Amino acid sequence: MYKLSLQRILIIIGICLVGIFYAIPNIVPDKTSLPKWWQPVNLGLDLQGGSSLLLQVKMDDVLKDKMSTLEDSVRQSLRERKVRYKDLNSSKDGVTVVIADYVARDKAKEAFRKLDDGVVVSEDENGEGVVTLTYNEQAIAQLKLRVIDQSISIVRRRIDELGTKEPIIQGQGSDRILVQLPGVQNPESVKILLGKTAKMAFHLVDETTSVVQAKRGKISKTSRIMNGSEGEQYVVIRKPVVGGENLTDARVSFQEGQPVVSFRFNTIGGRKFAEVTSNHIGERLAIVLDNEVISAPNIQTAITGGSGVITGNFTTKSANDLALLLRSGALPAPLEVMEERTVGAGLGADSIHDGVVASIVGFAAVILFMILAYGLFGLMVDITLFLNLAIMVGAMSFMGTTLTLPGIAGIILTIGMAVDANILIFERIREEVNRGRSIRDAISVGFTEAYRTIVDSNLTTLVAGAILFYFGSGPVRGFAVTLTVGILTSMFTSVTVSRLMVEAWMAKFKPTKLPLQ
Instruction: Look at residue 450 and tell me if it is in a domain.
Output: yes
Strands 50-57 and 94-98: unpaired
Sign of CA dihedral 204, 210, 213, 215: positive
Rounded mean pLDDT of 494-507? 88
* Residue 219 and residue 323 in one domain: yes
Q: How many domains does the chain have?
A: 3
DSSP per residue over 35-51, as a string? -TTS--PEE-HHHH-EE
Q: Worst-scoring range by mean pLDDT, 159-163, 233-237, 255-259, 350-354?
A: 159-163
Mean pLDDT value across the chain? 85
* Residue 132 and residue 204 in one domain: no
pLDDT (0 to 100) of residue 135: 94
Residue 164 has pLDDT above 50, yes or no: no
Name the helix (H) or strand (E) containing 342: strand 335-343
Distance CA 155, CA 92 (A): 25
Question: Higher pLDDT residue, 483 or 312?
Answer: 483
pLDDT (0 to 100) of residue 416: 78
Q: Is 200 helix (H, G, I), strand (E, B) or coil?
A: strand
Instruction: Look at residue 385 and tell me if it is in a domain.
Output: yes
Is residue 407 within 8 Å of residue 47, measured between CB atoms? no
Residue 298 has pLDDT above 60, yes or no: yes
* Residue 323 and residue 451 in one domain: no
DSSP per residue over 53-85, as a string? EEEEE-HHHHHHHHHHHHHHHHHHHHHHTT---
Rounded mean pLDDT of 346-375? 80
If you average pLDDT over each of 3-12, 27-36, 110-119, 348-357, which comes out highest?
110-119
* Residue 20 and residue 103 in one domain: no
Q: Is 204 helix (H, G, I), strand (E, B) or coil?
A: strand
pLDDT (0 to 100) of residue 170: 84
Distance CA 456, CA 300 (A): 73
pLDDT (0 to 100) of residue 161: 60
Residue 32 has pLDDT above 50, yes or no: yes
- Of 92, 388, 336, 28, give the one whose Cα is nearest residue 196: 336
Helix spans in 418-474 (H): 420-434, 439-471
Instruction: Look at residue 262 and tell me if it is in a domain.
Output: yes
Please give the C-alpha separations between residue 249 and each of 143, 273, 328, 329, in angstroms, as whole numbers. 27, 15, 9, 10
Distance CA 63, CA 75 (A): 18
Instruction: Look at residue 94 and tell me if it is in a domain.
Output: yes
pLDDT (0 to 100) of residue 346: 59
pLDDT (0 to 100) of residue 388: 92
Q: Worst-scoring range by mean pLDDT, 256-265, 336-345, 373-382?
A: 336-345
pLDDT (0 to 100) of residue 165: 54
Question: Higher pLDDT residue, 230 or 89?
Answer: 89
Query: What would the 3-class secondary structure string for 143-161 be?
Result: HHHHHHHHHHHHHHHHHHH
Question: Higher pLDDT residue, 159 or 210?
Answer: 210
Is residue 447 within 8 Å of residue 462, measured between CB atoms? no
Residue 173 — very low, low, confident or very high, per pLDDT cuts 50/70/90?
Answer: confident
Residue 464 has pLDDT above 80, yes or no: yes
For position 211, which CATH number holds? Answer: 3.30.1360.200
Percent of residues, the chain, with pLDDT higher than 70: 96
Q: Quote the domain boundaries for residue 300.
A: 198-330
Instruction: Look at residue 211 and tell me if it is in a domain.
Output: yes
Residue 386 has pLDDT above 80, yes or no: yes
Residue 55 — very low, low, confident or very high, per pLDDT cuts 50/70/90?
Answer: very high
Distance CA 114, CA 108 (A): 10
pLDDT (0 to 100) of residue 278: 92
Question: Higher pLDDT residue, 8 or 189?
Answer: 8
Q: Which long-range contacts (CB under 8 A, 24 or more apart) does 95-104 make?
A: 95/67, 95/70, 95/71, 95/132, 95/133, 95/134, 96/130, 96/131, 96/132, 96/133, 97/130, 97/131, 97/133, 98/128, 98/129, 98/130, 98/131, 99/129, 99/131, 100/129, 101/129, 102/129
Rounded mean pLDDT of 279-286? 91
Strands 335-343 and 50-57: antiparallel
Residue 1 — very low, low, confident or very high, per pLDDT cuts 50/70/90?
Answer: very low
* Residue 502 and residue 381 in one domain: yes
Q: Worst-scoring range by mean pLDDT, 131-135, 253-257, 340-344, 373-377?
A: 340-344
Instruction: Look at residue 193 and tell me if it is in a domain.
Output: no
Instruction: Look at residue 326 and tell me if it is in a domain.
Output: yes
Q: Which long-range contacts (CB under 8 A, 24 or more apart) does 222-230 make?
A: 226/286, 226/288, 226/291, 226/292, 226/293, 227/291, 227/292, 227/293, 228/292, 228/293, 228/294, 228/296, 229/292, 229/293, 229/294, 229/295, 229/312, 230/313
For the CA atoms of 245, 249, 250, 253, the dihedral, rounded to the nearest 10 degrees, stands at -150
Q: Is 100 helix (H, G, I), strand (E, B) or coil?
A: coil
* Residue 415 and residue 448 in one domain: yes
* Residue 113 and residue 26 in one domain: no
Q: Worst-scoring range by mean pLDDT, 245-254, 366-375, 401-410?
A: 401-410
Residue 219 has pLDDT above 80, yes or no: yes
Instruction: Look at residue 149 and tell me if it is in a domain.
Output: no
Residue 353 — very low, low, confident or very high, per pLDDT cuts 50/70/90?
Answer: confident
Distance CA 457, CA 428 (A): 16
* Residue 109 and residue 82 in one domain: yes
For position 365, which CATH number holds? Answer: 1.20.1640.10
Distance CA 88, CA 364 (A): 77
* Residue 408 and residue 500 in one domain: yes
Q: Give per-residue pLDDT as tens, 116-148.
A: 889 999 988 777 889 999 999 999 999 888 889
Helix, strand, coil content of the chain in percent (nearest 5): 55, 20, 25
pLDDT (0 to 100) of residue 227: 92
> What's the distance, CA 377 to chain centroid?
46
Q: Is 277 helix (H, G, I), strand (E, B) or coil?
A: helix
pLDDT (0 to 100) of residue 166: 63
Pick the last residue of a domain from 90, 117, 140: 140
Distance CA 188, CA 421 (A): 50
Distance CA 366, CA 329 (A): 52
* Residue 119 and residue 40 in one domain: no
* Residue 403 and residue 453 in one domain: yes
Pick the last residue of a domain from 299, 330, 361: 330
- Of 368, 506, 453, give the one whose Cα is nearest residue 3: 506
Rounded mean pLDDT of 43-72? 86
pLDDT (0 to 100) of residue 351: 67
* Residue 300 and residue 372 in one domain: no
Strands 42-43 and 402-403: parallel
Pick the last residue of a domain from 109, 140, 171: 140
**In sequence order, what are the residues at sequence separation of 6 or more whose Cβ sits closer than 8 angstroms to the Cβ of residue 182?**
42, 43, 44, 45, 47, 48, 49, 50, 164, 165, 166, 167, 168, 402
Q: Give per-residue pLDDT as tens, 312-339.
A: 778 888 888 888 778 777 788 888 889 8
For position 79, which CATH number holds? Answer: 3.30.1240
